[in-house]
Chains A and B, each alone.
Chain A
């Protein structure tokens, strides 16, 4: 039997600190980075933005190959996380399009600047979910630790900032991406 092959991308929306505004020192950086996304972001607006970006980057070929089975399986605005499904052969196009998105795509006007970070490419929904759980757990622990650190030594809060578990240079996420390569 032939089975339609899919890929599930687990994506985090990350908000980089704004250099123009003074940083709120009282909050852990994780909380700031992974702050919730506005309710104006809907399934439709997100999909539309991705499709526009794909069309821009890859033209008709790109939109044709992705349109068929692109769908958002899970969108949690409170934690700025979503899982998106696409054809296995073309997940790199989707990834590239996500990388080129710089603002939260809302229906009217442009949203806040943000980064769409693909943290896991997997062949099943289940593994993407497992990864999301793992990351959420680590994020909770990291945020709480940082908060307790900050209360004890307020001055050193920024110096002590260790690399985030979800940082760009994180090795584990690189591995998981590599393993997803079809």
Chain B
């Protein structure tokens, strides 16, 4: 076969030959035509072979169509040969209705990835002069129409509108219980049909199609539709990676079996092959047995760029438990604590129903093993830190609905909207801000000033054996309240302190992630990997590893001593805007502009969970301290709560009116704080939100979720700032809430 695409389709044909007669026809004709184009008579032989019964009407029609096509292209000799071999009568054939079903190109071939380019190549090579005859919508020559339109530049977009309206009418006429589910089909169908028209250069028709039907779509697709409306030519689609991904990946719909049967029956009996083709090619229908879902249930879960998540995407086992804390010998004055923590487990780890709270030495079945991923060993300084941590935890205040935390707000003045990232160390001693002028500034929260380490020659002079050597290495002459770190060449979008307070990470629009030393206040390493803006970065809770996510739609796992990433988490359809480690450092959650959240396994790099439901890009993620739940906030102003083990949405907190930029659980997981652009901090009752759902009988099979509309009850307090959006939240070890933002009058 001369043409490459012909050969591809040919191969597919041989496989599909007996299974899908309808679509097979296209493939055959493709092969035929491609063969004919190279004018080899042997190509007609396959045509002959592929006719199961010579007299079958469909095949007859197919052959007629091919014949007609050949005649149009003035390939008279080949036409003669075909006619002779196929035994077709010599007759003038009317141009059959050209079904402008460009989707017929797909011919049921599920080429995932590369589909767009294949499509493109087919379209560009397609011969001109296809039949332009108008619609014969209900005609029973689907094969012919589709075949011809495959080679016609000018399909009939009136058909698109007709088909779409037809489907609309049908869906409006079904039973109520099915209607909600079937309405899910509208949006992806609309987008794909529109894109088909644009690809085939039917600008005017595409525009008309858009204007007629875009208003019917769900309101949460408004942003996408607006972007789509600006896309009127094929060339516009070239650089838009998100859109190309949308075309090549399958939009997932979850429909109950009954509804699906209805739809299938309707489409097949009306021989609406065009819509059927689009559905087969671009949509993945995840069928479940059970009750159809209601509109509100569907609305809760939909909204992402690729539909919902397939059920098997959320079936992998996730070890959401926490790692065992190592044994630490506490100093003598903490003996009473030691008695309680026989295995060195910090006292705080007794959240409600946490299975690891028991004093037994049994491994939590839900926790990963200590050696699942290599973690750095504890140094002496780390052990001292842990002792401090345990001491502080004893003084921690127990929060609850009747015992709300005090909030201390750190306002960045004179930032002129330049504050882009904030982080606070775990012991709340340092606060760092990343700014749009590419600087990073570190402040000391405590009265203790920031000092640099002495120079090497001075270090030689000090007494290394003295007890306060850690104090002596600091150069008091350099003490100051804040230190500024220069190095980036673009706005700094993410900052993260390391657990041992020695390092600071910052990621910026210049595509690098920089590691700064907080002892010398200089830059140590620049990690280059993303070549595009990096939106977020975070150190792992144990140090050594860190993750970054950026515009190139992947998140990367790095270790401080490797200049290249260790893992690449690819799968999102749009930028990765938020990256967070799970408390046990074995999993990474990424939130993205494609409105989904994915949970990745650090060990294998696989995506183990996909959470859909947000209607806007996700900007905040927070794991609960017991590792079981995830909270996420997006530009739609909702906070969604997810159960990681089951992979389901378990709660929705409505209240914020603008984008949520920060989420944080209190130290014991009782309270969830959320900060947003609407200048408020809201506190939610996390124990109550997770309370009713500690049971294990989720209907994970159907994905039916029953969200209670109890946001009002869960809201414990709303605290307004004076025109200062809240960019960061942090609970101190004693459960005081720190918040940070830049004053923006």
Do A and B bind? no
Binding site for B on A (CB under 8 A): none
Binding site for A on B (CB under 8 A): none
